[in-house]
Amino acid sequence: MLRMQPYVDELKSRFGNVTVIHNSSAETLLQVEHVIPDRGYAAVLCVTLGVHFPRTPPIVTYFDGRKISLASPDGSAPDAWDPSKSKLVDAVGNAFANLANLWGSVVPPSMELLTSQLSSLSDSMLQDIVSNPNCLESYAYQLPFFKAIRDASCQTIDDIERVANENLKLQPVVENLRAELERLQRSLEQNVQSMQKMLRATPLLNSIGTPESLAKTLATDVRTLDAQCEEIAKKILQLDCATDKLRFDNLLEEYREKAKERHFIDLKRRAYCASLT
């Protein structure tokens, strides 16, 4: 089934209601239900995927076993199945279109319709057999088909009961998960509130908390260092190198360090702003 699962998922994405009826190493049997848009009624097709699919074409049949063509209804695709190009969802879509063309505006019979009719006609069928023994052969011929319908209905009921029981078992687990999710949500809200308080109480975090604030902080640092360099330069210009060479050299070294720091911070600012764009 793992190999066929991608194809099943594709059918579900296109048609929605897809059920795995049978799965074995030899074949996978799917039931696909689809509402035909231009007809307004729902139709059901059976799709059989053989062990060599997609090298071999899928087999699409109506519930009575009649094969439905996979070719495009408008005849644009001369070959019904090309392993290198054809897609299962398109082939099944063509089959639904061909089925709609076959029945026209008449709603095709379904398994549910036959089951309801057979349930209401059971007494009349027995009366026909009693009054006309020739009907017995006809009913006997149809009996295996009716039995298969009944077995399928019983199996469906069993599956529904099993799913319902599983849902009852899962309900406490879901409730526990919901409670845990609510607890985690409350914890997250508390953590967010604590973080917001910390941001308001810590100016440094505010200055680097967002990309815009960090870029603004770097620009402010550059302007501050510019002002400091300008102040040191004024002091240097006011000194006489011949009379106070030691202080002149110290201020000159301080100016170089500040200018170097300013250049480094400005490079970081430019690189960071470039990364934001």
pLDDT value at residue 180: 93
Question: What tokens were used for 63?
Answer: 């519930």
pLDDT value at residue 182: 92
CB 49 within 8 Å of CB 7: yes
- The per-residue pLDDT for range 87-102, each reduced to its tens digit, is 999 999 999 998 888 8
pLDDT value at residue 25: 84
pLDDT value at residue 134: 67
pLDDT value at residue 106: 77
**What value does the mean pLDDT of the chain take?**
82
Region 114-120: mean pLDDT is: 67
Per-residue HEC secondary structure of the chain comes to CCCCHHHHHHHHHHHCEEEEEEECCCEEEEEEEEEECCCCEEEEEEEEEECCCCCCCCEEECCCCCECCCCCCCCCCCCCCCCCCCCHHHHHHHHHHHHHHHHCCCCCCCHHHHHHHHHHHHHHHHHHHHHCCCHHHHHHHHHHHHHHHHHHHHHHHHHHHHHHHHHHHHHHHHHHHHHHHHHHHHHHHHHHHHHHHHHHHCHHHHHHCCHHHHHHHHHHHHHHHHHHHHHHHHHHHHCCCCCCHHHHHHHHHHHHHHHHHHHHHHHHHHHHHHHHC
Domain coordinates in residue numbering, the chain: 5-108, 112-160, 204-276
- The per-residue pLDDT for range 158-177, each reduced to its tens digit, is 888 888 888 888 888 889 99
Residue 110 binned pLDDT confidence (cut-offs 50, 70, 90): confident
Q: Using CB atoms within 10 A of its CB, is residue 115 exposed (0-12), middle (13-18) or buried (19+)?
A: middle
pLDDT value at residue 185: 93
Distance CA 155, CA 165 (A): 15
CATH architecture designation of domain 5-108: Roll (3.10)
Q: Does position 152 have pLDDT exceeding 80, yes or no?
A: yes
Give the rounded percent of residues in the chain with a pLDDT score beyond 70. Answer: 84
Q: Does position 44 have pLDDT exceeding 80, yes or no?
A: yes
Q: Which residues contact 199 (CB under 8 A, 6 or more apart)?
A: 205, 206, 209
- pTM equals 0.43
- The per-residue pLDDT for range 213-242, each reduced to its tens digit, is 778 888 888 899 989 989 988 888 888 777
